[in-house]
Amino acid sequence: MSTAAMEGVERGSLLAGGTRTRLLQAGPAEASEAVVFLHGNPGSADDWIGMAGAAAEAGRRAVAFDLPDFGETIAPSGFEHDVPGYARFVDQALTELGIEHAHLVLHDFGGPIGLAWAAMRPDAVASVTLIDTGLLPGYRWHVLARIWRTPVLGELFQATATRRAFRSLLNLREPRGLPREFAEAMYDHYDSRTRKAVLALYRATDDPGGMSEALIGLFAEREIPALVIWGEHDAYLPWSFAARQREAFPGAEVHVLPASGHWPFADAPETAERLLREFLEALPPDRG
Amino acid sequence: MPSTDSHSPIIGDDPAYDAVIVGASLAGCAAAIQLGRAGLSVAVVEKQPDPNAFKRMCSHFIQASAVPTLERLELLEPIEAAGGQRPRVRIWTRWGWIEAPAERAARGVNLRREVLDPLVRKAAAATAGVEMLLGWSLERLLREGGGFGGIAVRNREGEERELRARLTVGADGRDSRTAELSGVPVKTYPHNRFAYGGYFEGGAPANAPDATAWFLDPQWCAAFPTDNDLTFYAAMPTKDRLPEFRKEPEAALVRFLSDVPEAPPIRAGRAIEPVIGKIEMTNRMRKPVAPGLALIGDAALATDPLFGVGCGWAIQSSEWLAESVMAALRGDESLEQGLERYRRRHRRELGAHAFFIHDYATGRKLNPAERLMFSAAARDPEMATRFDAFGTRQVRPQQAMPRLIPRAVAVNARHALAR
């Protein structure tokens, strides 16, 4: 991530949905229109330091937070580890933050969660940036997800995911590997709570493409500005879905990065940050 | 008398030339210069009436392998005087840049075909013994004994002529009509990438005038700085990326090049003409000879433009042919012997290169052996120098591999241990 973009990103915390979550903020703190970053799995608010800086450079308020049981944030008792449960948490967090209009920036499982929230509050969506995620009509779970979804096998996998095994598996499936500190931080957060949450979330999501048809109709007629960034070497969610996001977001600008994998903002930070900054700069100014 | 006039007189009704060449592009003109200089009579027939015609879809890169031939043709100096650049080649890989040390890197030639083609054609037309017939198209091949003995041509007014010659040369490119009419055996190899490119003013890449290629595996793009501070930007993606390019070629090209690692500043430039593309580029390898007939340049081997070998090999193959048949055309041996010599030379020089190129043209990703070599070349200057000599086609694969593979293994073993 570029150092320039990291400056001005402040760490804090937020009480929302019955828990205290870690919060990254940048740009004008009082704005009611903000760029809202939702991480995937495994991931945390930390994924977005560089990208949040880029959004602030575009003059926008940027917020990123841990989803419950990811990063360092503990889910409240009774929390439902499924897409609707996480979408409700996002809604509570945005209410706490005073955000009325959101430019969603979504990665991986942050995609289904963020789009489910968007379906709940379509009028609050100012734009959508999809990074290796989106609507996935006809998608069949990747092999890791199928392992996680299998009782016993999933638990066994999580129990044997040592730091070394985790890093090897991660880098094996990335075209250029991930920056070491990025991968290390990811593992640091991949604790037993996160591992359990991952199993619950994937097991609760039977058909990752299931909601697509309904959502495509809902979003397409609203002509939401959209940016799609996809690593061509994504081993989990194939880039062939990138152009298909135009079914829901007809005006989407689509960039398939030819040397990137599943985490373009980690393996091509300059490009990902530039694309986001330029996309945000080209949108109408904040509504307030 | 040499002339570039499309209505040049044909001396006599049934002239007999030592050689008649179909196609006045790089290969045809280079062959004409060499045969003419040897005191032979040569007719060059070109369907384009305009002496300034040029090939449009071309990266115009001439590999360093062809530079000695250009020097012997006395074309290198005029090319440089016309603004031709002498680039080294830098290659981006996911393991880092492959860059031979400056003093050891080979230098190719970059001059736009718009300037290069007329320059070479003029040099051919000015060569004693060479007659340039512009605006005449090949109609059919003439039979002579058991082989070919010249061509019948027709101009745009419908006038037809027969040009008899001891040797007929097809230098008419990828879709060679000479080759087609001669019925020489052809092997085709699928090409699963497409190409789009265009000239940009401003927005030159880092290290210009050196050329830069990105091996994004399996995608590919490149920047070729050239004369007049222009840069030819090109992308050769796999066919699944075609829809975006078809829809808006220039925007897709600019987006593609802007999104690569260490991207060139293409967005700071301006396309000076429409970005154009070529979608079907089946590789063709033809038997380069038949009785009384030879094929040179793309007519003999139309291979993947990704490696920028077409122009250089057009020029080089013209020299291999001229050297091979000179004695025969002077009457010192049979033409059959000369053509057989050319066939063997062509296969020895290009056969193994073509094998590797055609395999990669399927659109596949780099295989383990290639990954071994690319990664080692990015890590070790000596390896980069050897790789450069191979990539610029100065050494053949059969010569290069014994020098590349052991060092690549050693470099990567050292790299693994150091980690």
CB pair distance less than 8 Å for B243 and A243: yes
Question: Residues A34, A97: contact at Cβ < 8 Å?
Answer: yes
Q: Six-digit token pair at A218?
A: 């809902």
Average per-residue pLDDT for chain B: 95
> Is A2 at the interface with chain B, CB within 8 A?
no
User: Cβ A232–B219 below 8 Å, yes or no?
Assistant: yes
- The domains located in chain A, with CATH, are 3-140+208-281 (3.40.50.1820)
A232 touches B at CB < 8 Å: yes
ipTM over 0.95: no
Four-point Cα dihedral B327, B332, B337, B338, nearest 10: 10
Does B244 contact A243 at a Cβ distance shorter than 8 Å?
yes
Report pLDDT for B7.
39
pLDDT tens-digit map of A5-24: 566 899 999 999 999 999 99
Contact B259 A175 (CB under 8 A): no
Distance CA A7, CA B414 (A): 38
Distance, CA of B166 to CA of B19 (rounded, Å): 6
Q: Please say whether the dihedral angle defined by the alpha carbons of residues A28, A30, A31 and A37, taken in this order, is positive or negative.
A: positive
Using a cut of 0.80, tell me whether the model's pTM lies above it: yes
Cβ-based contacts of A268 with chain B (< 8 Å): 259, 261
Contact indicator for A128, A104 with CB cutoff of 8 Å: yes
Across the interface, whether the CB atoms of A232 and B243 are under 8 A apart is answered no
Nearest residue in chain B measured CA to CA from A243: B244
Instruction: With a cut of 60, say whether residue B212 has pLDDT above it.
Output: yes
**Two structure tokens written together for B415:** 């790299």
Q: Taking Cα atoms as reference points, which of A12, A14, A13 lies closest to residue A95?
A: A14
- Residues with Cβ within 8 Å of A151's Cβ and at least 6 positions away in sequence, in order, are none
Residue B172, number of CB atoms within 10 A of its CB: 28
pLDDT at A286: 72
With bands split at pLDDT 50, 70 and 90, how would you rate the model's confidence at A213? confident
Percent of chain B with pLDDT over 90: 94
Note whether A278 contacts B: Cβ–Cβ < 8 A: no
Task: Identify the contact set of chain B against chain A, taking CB-CB distances under 8 A.
Answer: 94, 214, 216-217, 219, 221, 237, 240-241, 243-244, 255-256, 258-261, 263
Pairing outcome for strands B211-215 and B220-225: antiparallel
**How would residue B361 be classed by pLDDT, with cut points 50, 70 and 90?**
very high
Q: What is the pLDDT of residue B14?
A: 46
In sequence order, what are the beta bridge partners of B193? B238
First-to-last C-alpha distance (Å) of chain A:
29
Average pLDDT of the segment spanning A177-195: 94
C-alpha A248/C-alpha B409 separation (Å) is 49
Q: What is the pLDDT of residue A211?
A: 84
Provide the pLDDT confidence category of residue A210 given band limits of 50, 70 and 90. confident
Q: How far apart are CA B112 and CA B399, in angstroms?
A: 32
* Angle of CA points A119, A124, A127, to nearest 5°: 85
H/E element, A34:
strand A33-38
Contact flag B244-A257 (C-beta cutoff 8 Å):
no
For residues B205 and B202, give the distance between their C-alpha atoms in angstroms, rounded to a whole number.
Answer: 9
Buried b (16+ CB within 10 A) or exposed e, B359-389: ebbebeebeeebbbbbbbbbbbeebbbbbbb
- Give the nearest partner residue to B259 out of A240, A243, A258, using CB atoms: A258
Mark yes or no for CB contact A257/B263 under 8 Å.
no
pLDDT, residue A194, reads 96
Q: Could you read off the pLDDT of B91-149 as tens digits, one per residue?
A: 999 999 999 999 999 999 999 999 999 999 999 999 999 999 999 999 999 998 889 99
- Does the pLDDT at position B338 exceed 90? yes
Q: What residues are paired with A256 via a beta bridge?
A: A230
List the end-to-end C-alpha distance of chain B, in Å, as a whole number: 69
Q: Residue B283 forms beta bridges with which residues? A: B189
- State the average pLDDT over residues B330-353: 97
Give the integer Cα–Cα distance in Å for B349 and B333.
23
Residues of B in contact with A269 (CB under 8 A): none
pLDDT at res. A46: 96
pLDDT digits (tens, 9 = 90+) for A216-235: 999 999 999 999 999 999 99
List phi, psi (to 5°) of B349. -70, -40
Q: Give CA angle at B360 (A243, B238), nearest 5°.
A: 15
pLDDT exceeds 60 at position B4: no
pLDDT for residue B417: 93
Q: Is B94 in contact with A175 (Cβ distance < 8 A)?
A: yes
Q: Is the pLDDT of residue A287 over 70?
A: no
DSSP E strand boundaries for B296-338: 301-302
Judge whether residue B70 has pLDDT over 50.
yes
Task: Provide the β-strand partners of residue A287.
Answer: none
Q: Alpha helix locations (H) across B45-102?
A: 67-72, 76-81
Domains parsed from chain B with CATH numbers? 16-55+117-189+282-359 (3.50.50.60), 192-278 (3.30.9.100), 368-418 (no CATH)
pLDDT-based confidence at B6, cuts 50/70/90? very low
